[in-house]
Amino acid sequence: MNISIFGSGYVGLVTAACFAEAGNEVICVDIDETRIQKLTEGHCPFYEPGVDDLLTRNVEAGRLRFTTDARAAIDHGLFIMIAVGTPPDEDGSADLRHVLTVARTVGEHMSEYKVVITKSTVPVGSAEHVRKAVNETLSARGENIEFDVVSNPEFLKEGSAVEDFMKPDRTIVGVDNPRTGELMRALYAPFNRSRDRVIVMDIASSELTKYAANAMLATKISFMNELSNLADRVGADIEAVRKGIGSDPRIGYKFIYPGAGYGGSCFPKDVSALSKTGEQVGYSMELVDAVNAVNRRQKQVLFNKIQAHFGDLNGKTIAIWGLAFKPNTDDVREAPARDLMEALWEAGAVVRVHDPEAMDTIRACYGEPENLTYCNSPAEATQGADALAILTEWKLYHSPNFEKLAQTLTDKVIFDGRNLFDPALVTRFGLEYQSIGRPIAKPG
């Protein structure tokens, strides 16, 4: 298959690398010449396990190329995938400007039949906007060239995106032409050898499925965080509650871990965009709005615990382990660690931070202020700190030396936003332990 992908961000690049690995001829297009040059040299602009190897192997094999030449890419691909960003607009709706720019570019340069695929996360009705943009551009050229529009949302989890693509649990395809559905089945056939995971449906349902999936997962997280706050107040242990309800197969254990709130590039903006979609058709998405509200509040819970413990935070030093919104990524978009850092600074505290992968992305956000110290190891971050806060559940943080922590932390207290430890174990070393939805554990 000849595939052209517009956008070399997270979704576009992972998609391009995985399709090339399956033997397809893939061209990835971006307007950023510096980015294209680095990609051609095999340098991935973000951290995602497995992507570097795929890039190197397929660029060397000639199956994967990068360019700024949109015309050449459109000439190349039967399948034209749109994988550009859809950032939230000021009102929370998805901004489709970049998507529609690509659609018009396709209309400007196509000379034969194309399958135009929206891979970006877009609200219901976006495929029709893409179709209209291509048609209007073709009409302005005086051309009448056949094409089809397909909705093919991605379901890649940061930290396991390559595995998700190579062995998908489902591939959603929205079409309005049965022929196009068969073409898409053929495109994804290499990733469906054991059983057919392609689910073909109408375009509107496909577009809604992506938002519905992310909103459901976000709802589970916010529900558990809501329960954790109640547990705090009634003296219950949310971890015991989690095990109790997770044992019910109708609920299960996935996405019911309480914590410091969800972040990343998907859940926050997609939940907001789904709410906005409802508003645009005159329907109030009350549950979805509550999910958003609970998450915003949850991102302040750890700071509130720290402030309640110390009272005055002015001049205090807090060590933070974990900056990325989740493990196995360097993505700090909407990360709870950022909310905590900013709240601590506002209260007059200084922070010392460590993360295995996200140091550079945090540095790009905040630079080198006096109240922020970047540390090369977890132990270095705790040097001179009054307390430790944990925001990301990297494996590196799961088995610390509690004895050394008790000697290092001036106030001998850990604030755990991910409930990594057994409270009884932590207190055995003379440390106070405050976590999410569990009683405060004190030594002795």
**Which among 44, 266, 365, 375 is annotated as catalytic?**
266
At residue 151, what are phi and psi to the nearest 5 degrees?
-100, 125
pLDDT score for 134: 97
44 is catalytic: no
Give the integer Cα–Cα distance in Å for 416 and 418: 5
Q: Is the pLDDT of residue 42 over 90?
A: no
pLDDT score for 239: 96
pLDDT score for 182: 95
170, 140 Cβ separation under 8 angstroms: no
Q: Is the pLDDT of residue 127 over 80?
A: yes
pLDDT score for 443: 93
Q: How many CA atoms lie within 13 A of 93 on its CB side?
A: 14
In three-state secondary structure terms, 109 is: helix
Burial of 185 (0-12, 13-18, 19+ CB in 10 A): middle
> How sure is the predictor about 362, in pLDDT bands with cuts at 50, 70 and 90?
very high
- Find the range with the poorest average confidence among 268-272, 319-323, 389-393: 268-272
Give the integer Cα–Cα distance in Å for 22 and 19: 5
Q: What's the mean pLDDT in 125-151? A: 96
In three-state secondary structure terms, 67 is: strand
pLDDT score for 266: 87
**23-42 b/e (C-beta count within 10 Å ≥ 16 → b):** ebbbbbbbeeeebbeebeee
Q: Which long-range contacts (CB under 8 A, 24 or more apart) does 435-438 make?
A: 436/225, 436/228, 436/238, 436/258, 436/259, 436/260, 436/301, 436/302, 437/227, 437/228, 437/229, 437/231, 437/232, 437/236, 437/237, 437/238, 437/239, 437/241, 437/258, 438/231, 438/232, 438/237, 438/238, 438/239
